[in-house]
Structure 1
């Protein structure tokens, strides 16, 4: 009898010590499920439920180790599992109290299985949180890189790859972006993106305060406007996290439209893995979710550890559509060098470009028309405060029509899709899609001559704007001559400054419409 009491006391002390132990670190070594049951229903249920959840999380941890990113369904499964695991963990002390009155051997067996299940549960909770925050993959990537990294990597290289933009609460930070932002206009000579001609939304954040979320956007997280001393304009910082969205105030999209924006990044570590992505959603709701019944999800990889694919996924009528694609890409350098993203939706067809390269061109991506009316941005898999992503110059426009037909039919076109550096006549390379179409018209009709007219908004002095508009017209002519070999004798130029506005110069949208180039047949 004394021996039995003493054994119970030992078992109970052992149990308390195990439950009081710190949480175990996440591990990849498989924890084996107990082969037999104890015969105490609360214990057997606790062990079974814990290992069922453990097996589920362990599977997704394996995906992360293999560099496979999680999709929306995976994230939903993990979130639900995390809720179940937390509730199960909270109930563990009650399970232990159910051992009172049981035989010594049964208590011993039950205690060992409970603590084994607790170990699996602790691993599952910690790992699920890391997976949902996009942090799990960094550990495995880092370990792999430690084994394979070239010994000749210099300290300067490490500093360059881990530099930080700076504090978003300050009014100005001193970070600069690399000088090789683009490869020149010639690299864009075959770029066939043409922006829509009817502006629906434009925001360069020029009228928002530093540190604030822009007035024409909404979010369920945070984010703020940042200004840099060596990079033009204001930028909106996107904050990483699962189910965190920033949504511009757009509530109606036509059947044909284009989306453009610029991206800036900083601090992208060498071991940044496949989960680090910028997501663009086209959705049927302005809720902070992918969508109610319909959505399209595109993702651009920012991982630096290896080449990672661009992805495209569609979801219509509350079920996965026919598209769940990974499209071959290597954007490691592009995402570090201020890329321009262009998207064109033409009824069912969707195309996506990063700089001049087209990575997505899916003819039946939009399975149901007139249901996707909202645009959402989301980033995932980045270390908060270290690996940072910013966007600027979001432009949404209806159309994307073939300007060649319009010029031939009407003898003139006006476009605000030819973009220039601020206060400069330097053409931004992504504008070459329009200039290319103009060149094709001139090649088709060898007798055609065009007058190119530049217009500006009202910012700055009248004389300066007049000169700037003339310089911009000349720059377009030079691009036609230099890149597409059009004879300069067929082109004349003119500038009208701010004298002929087509919209209100007090708003960002209006200014964007007023900054335009006209082509008139002579």
Structure 2
């Protein structure tokens, strides 16, 4: 009996050992398979990660290349000013040849008009009122009348060569929604409110549209002289800064950092402008306009700075109460940089000036920051050595004109460059 039990035990142990060996072999095979599987998955994952990493690099390289290509038509890249404030980085192309002059002929920002009123120096055959908007500072004339015209009531002595700028915020219905007309008044029939389709004895109509630009030069009993372009059209419900350069018969329009239209014979030669108006014939949109400025065209930067030793410029502009330089300042900065590059021994002083609105101490600090911002742009954007430039701020302390009207205040907001 004992022997039988012993033999049975040995058989059981042998079976268990055999099962154990089989189980171990099976488990070993599974572990091996799992290990191989994990290794394969890891290799696959690492390979995928490597591929993704290279694709990211390639995509980044392509994007940088595209950005460089697109910089020819964009002046809105952002950088940092030396004072730590966010500042617009200025870039440009050979086509952006706009440089404002050194004399302000007219300026209107409706700051002297009460909110809700129609502006005192304008008239209309429709409705309109001064308002504020939520996407931009200042006061704006809301052109909300149907088939209405909006005429500035005083004559303006336009030279043959001048620049007119204005800010425009179109509503979401804006298509072919507004016209700026510069014209010569008919002295035999003078009108503060000229509601003719083509007022005066001759003029030019500039029509910004959501799909491009259109110009019409006209004169009594003559055919239109037209111009059309599609580049950089007006953007609905955003602030658009429009620049129109008139040089005798030639009309150039700039928008979003680029020249969008250049029509060399767009105006009849006998036309002498002395009036301006906005109109909205057969339109159903209600755009806003403000910051309307007329200056003499490009001053001789070389003569002013080299010969006279001082340049007073209104071509370097800033955001309200900030030292952020606006993109349309590119042409002026480039002209100053060109003179400095051609005359490497010249050193300059950059001085900022403000109007008298606000706190005097804050204006003084702001004028210093603006001068510093100009110095930084000349250095980083155009390669002028910082050792050649000094900066200072005068605030509101050295006005050119009394701070009593929007035009005079605009005259006092300036940058002066002095040869040392």
Aligned counterpart for 1:202 among listed residues 90, 104, 107: 107
Distance 1:216 1:181 in 2: 34
Equivalent position of 1:294 in the other structure:
202
Is the Cα–Cα contact under 8 Å of residues 187 and 356 in structure 1 kept in the other structure?
A: no
The answer to which of 467-476 and 246-255 deviates more is: 246-255
Q: Is the 8 A contact 1:257 1:344 kept in 2?
A: yes
CA contact (8 A) 1:181 1:339 kept: no
Q: Give the CA deviation at 1:224.
A: 0.7
Are residue 342 (structure 1) and residue 248 (structure 2) matched?
no
**Paired position in structure 2 for 1:227:** 132
Give yes or no for contact 1:263–1:335 (8 Å, CA) kept in 2. no
Matched, 1:480 2:381: no
Which blocks of at least 5 consecutive residues in structure 2 are unaligned? 1-73, 79-87, 186-190
| Residue 327 of structure 1: aligned partner | 229
Question: 1:277/1:188 Cα in 2 relative to 1: closer, same or farther (>3 Å)?
Answer: farther
CA shift for structure 1 position 240: 5.2
Match status 1:265 vs 2:167: no
Instruction: From the superposition, tell whether residues 473 and 297 of structure 1 become closer, same or farther in structure 2 (CA, over 3 Å).
Output: same
- In structure 2, relative to structure 1, the CA distance for the partners of 1:408 and 1:250 (3 Å cut) is farther
Which residue of 355, 373, 397 maps to 2:274?
373
Root-mean-square deviation (CA), in Å? 2.3
The answer to whether 1:246 aligns with 2:150 is yes
Q: Please report how far the alpha carbon of residue 375 of structure 1 lies from its aligned counterpart in structure 2 after TM superposition.
A: 1.4
Aligned to 2:329: 431
Q: Say which SS state the counterpart of residue 496 (structure 1) adopts.
A: strand
**In 2 relative to 1, CA 330–516 (structure 1 residues): closer, same or farther, beyond 3 Å?**
closer
Change (3 A) 1:188 1:266: farther
In structure 1, stretches of 5+ residues that fail to align are 1-179, 303-307
Deviation by residue 1:368-425 (Cα, 9 ceiling, x = unmatched): 2452211121235653xxx431011001123432323322322211122322111111
Match of 2:261 among 360, 377, 399: 360
Distance 1:196 1:292, change over 3 A: same
Identify the structure with the greater strand proportion: 2
What is the match of residue 388 of structure 1? 286
Flag the 1:240–1:381 CA change in 2: closer, same or farther, 3 A.
farther
d(CA) in 1 for partners of 2:329, 2:106: 18
Higher-RCO chain (CA-CA 8 Å, sequence separation at least 6): 2
- Could you tell me how far apart the structure 2 residues matched to 1:264 and 1:183 are? 21
CA 1:378–1:476 in 2, change beyond 3 Å: closer, same or farther?
Answer: same
- Is the 2:90–2:381 Cα contact (8 Å) retained in structure 1? no
Contact 1:201–1:250 (Cα < 8 Å) also in 2: no
Matched-pair contact (CA < 8 Å) for 1:225–1:236: yes
Question: Are the aligned partners of 2:136 and 2:239 in contact in 1 as well (CA < 8 Å)?
Answer: no
Runs of 4+, deviation exceeding 6 Å:
none
1:10-89 maps to which residues of 2 (within 5 A)?
none
- Is the partner of 1:337 in helix, strand or coil? coil
Task: Please list the CA deviations of residues 73-106 of structure 1 after superposition, one character each: whole Å capped at 9, or x if unmatched.
Answer: xxxxxxxxxxxxxxxxxxxxxxxxxxxxxxxxxx
> Is residue 277 of structure 1 aligned with residue 177 of structure 2?
yes
Q: Quick one: distance in 2 between partners of 1:418 and 1:250? A: 28
Separation in 1, partners of 2:236, 2:135:
18
* Secondary structure, aligned partner of 1:463: helix
Contact (CA 8 Å) 1:403, 1:413: kept in 2 or not? Answer: yes
Pair 1:406–1:335, CA change in 2 (3 A): farther
Aligned match of 2:217 in 311, 314, 324? 314
| Counterpart residue number, 1:419 | 317
Deviation at 1:233, TM superposition (A): 0.6
Secondary structure in 2 aligned to 1:320?
Answer: coil
Give the structure with higher Rg (CA).
2
Q: TM-score, normalised by structure 2?
A: 0.72
What TM-score results when the alignment is normalised by the length of structure 1? 0.59
Q: Secondary structure at the match of 1:218?
A: strand
**CA, structure 1 residues 427+369, in 2 after alignment: closer, same or farther (shift >3 Å)?**
farther
Deviations 1:168-198 (A, max 9, x none): xxxxxxxxxxxx9944444543332122322
Tell me how far apart the structure 1 counterparts of residues 387 and 222 of structure 2 sit (CA, whole Å): 58
- Distance (whole Å) between structure 1 residues aligned to residue 363 and residue 314 of structure 2: 16
Within 2, Cα distance between the matches of 1:255 and 1:364?
14
